[in-house]
Amino acid sequence: MKTIPYGRQDITDEDIQAVAETLKSDFLTQGPKILEFEENFAEYAGAKHAVAVSNGTAALHLAAMALSVKSGDKVITTPITFVASANGFRYCGAEIAFCDIDPETFLIDLDKLEKMLSSVPAGTYSGVVPVDFAGYPVHAEKLRKIADKYGLWIVEDACHAPGGWFIDDSGEKNICGNGKYSDITVFSFHPVKHIATGEGGALTTNNSELYRKLNLYRTHGITKNHELLEQNDGRWYYEMQELGYNYRITDFQATLGIQQLKRLDWSLKRRNEIANRYNNAFADVKKIKTPFTGENIFHAYHLYVIQTDNRKGLYDYLHAANILAQVHYVPCHLMPYYKQFGWKRGDMPIAENYYDHCLSLPMYPTLTNEEQNYVIEKIRNFVK
């Protein structure tokens, strides 16, 4: 059997043709395809605004900047995520506080979050960064109520969950990124994600002032909008009004994103089919715990994470069989960088227990049934 990775991109001939046409056009960057991609993505998510950027980490940093995060602000996030979820706010000087996870969903535990907030003076924390881990959408309505009670902004890290959704208390379906409950939502278009642009990311928001800031900060803090200029020397004139960054995406990447977005619903359907096949295959295997899925949510399944006691043994066994299972993630609070701030093993017991047992199996829409059967067979053989 050929090597089976835990995730991979899906690039079609139509994708290649569309990108080639853009490469032959007048624009490689800062052209019309970026706006087209942003408009299409905002429409899909149900948000008023979308801003496409160079990667998901840049999106997190821009979110922090737009919300005026500064040195000394305290921001809460989950320890089970890629480190960028915390780093994007550290770039602005924020102090990162971690809140342990729910043992079933692996998302930030909202009960523990409220307990954490209620135990300190009002105003201690500025904001919260929930992560739609593995594609499981956070219940943003419940989180919004907590955030409003304690005066927090919400930046939802939905890098794993484009197309995921939950049903709120009014019976309305809320797609990740629609902006109804989160101030800003960030996405990643890394090759193993649902939408691949090589590198790339986006932010969605319904707040026009945040949208203005995001556009400004992603391009050096420069504007040519004559309505915003302090003076105007002519059509060529521009002003740097804030200290921004070069976090732009290219036109040919945006073209690839447009193409990939067209197949997102198909990708989500196929990922759920794969997850269901795994669930059925391991239903009678006591040594394998499959992912939890609650009611009134749609899991986007960027990752399919099992838990098992002998994770290292299974990992090595699968790699020897050319199945490149992966571990997501080493808890952020146990990274040497964050340990210097006093975090240590024992601080996040649920997250640490999860890490000791978790393993991500191959999950991508072009995974064939034959390949998945091979993965299942090897796992069942190992646990015997």
154 closest CA partner among 175, 132, 185: 185
Could you tell me if 123 and 250 lie in one domain?
A: yes
Domain boundary at 262, 283, 311, which?
Answer: 262
Domain boundary at 210, 243, 262, which?
Answer: 262
The CATH number of residue 287's host domain is: 3.90.1150.10
Number of structural domains, the chain? 2
Could you tell me if 200 and 284 lie in one domain?
A: no
Give me the domain span that covers residue 35. 4-262
Residues 6+ apart with CB under 8 A from 36: 254, 258
pLDDT in tens, 92-138: 999 999 999 999 999 999 999 999 999 999 999 999 999 999 999 99
- Report pLDDT for 1: 81
For 188, the token pair is: 């990643």
Could you tell me if 59 and 160 lie in one domain?
A: yes
* Average predicted confidence (pLDDT) for the chain: 97
Could you tell me if 202 and 95 lie in one domain?
A: yes
Counting every residue written for the chain, the total comes to 384
- Global model pTM greater than 0.95: yes
Could you tell me if 284 and 247 lie in one domain?
A: no
For 267, the token pair is: 């990708």
pLDDT in tens, 182-196: 999 999 999 999 999
pLDDT in tens, 33-63: 999 999 999 999 999 999 999 999 999 999 9
Domain boundary at 233, 262, 291, which?
Answer: 262
Could you tell me if 222 and 320 lie in one domain?
A: no
Could you tell me if 226 and 270 lie in one domain?
A: no
Could you tell me if 289 and 252 lie in one domain?
A: no
Could you tell me if 322 and 245 lie in one domain?
A: no
Could you tell me if 276 and 239 lie in one domain?
A: no
pLDDT in tens, 319-364: 999 999 999 999 999 999 999 999 999 999 999 999 999 999 999 9
Contact in structure between 153 and 126 (CB atoms under 8 Å): yes
pLDDT in tens, 244-256: 999 999 999 999 9
Half-sphere exposure in the Cβ direction for 68 (13 Å, CA): 3
The CATH number of residue 182's host domain is: 3.40.640.10
Residues 6+ apart with CB under 8 A from 209: none
**pLDDT higher than 90, residue 22:** yes
Preceding peptide of 329 cis, ω within 30°: yes
Dist CA 341 CA 336 (whole Å): 9
89 membership: H or E segment, kind and range: helix 84-90
- Report pLDDT for 51: 98
Residues 6+ apart with CB under 8 A from 324: 3, 4, 5, 6, 318, 362
Could you tell me if 321 and 199 lie in one domain?
A: no
Could you tell me if 306 and 243 lie in one domain?
A: no
What share of the chain in percent tops pLDDT 70? 100
